[in-house]
Amino acid sequence: MITHLDSVTSQIEDPFILSRYVGFVSVAAVTVYELAVKEIFIDFAKKKNKVFGTFTNAHFDRINGRIKNSDLKNEYIKKFGKKYLIRYQKKLDKEETEHLRNFGTSIESSYANIITWRNEFAHEGKITSTVTYQEVVSSYKTGKKLINCLAETMNR
Q: Cα–Cα–Cα angle for 102, 110, 40, nearest 5°?
A: 100
- For 91-104, how does the pLDDT look when each residue is reduced to its tens digit (9 = 90+)? 999 999 999 999 99
Distance CA 95, CA 106 (A): 9
89: left (phi over 0), alpha (psi -120 to 50) or beta: alpha
> According to the model, what pLDDT value does residue 150 have?
98
Is-contact 61 119, C-beta < 8 A? no
Task: Compute the mean pLDDT over every residue in the chain, rounded to the nearest whole number.
Answer: 92
Q: Rg of the chain over CA atoms, in angstroms?
A: 17
pLDDT band at 40 (very low <50, low <70, confident <90, very high): very high
| Whether pLDDT at 142 is above 80 | yes
pLDDT band at 81 (very low <50, low <70, confident <90, very high): very high
pLDDT band at 44 (very low <50, low <70, confident <90, very high): very high
CB-side neighbour CA atoms (13 Å) of 38: 18
| Whether pLDDT at 132 is above 80 | yes
Distance CA 11, CA 70 (A): 38
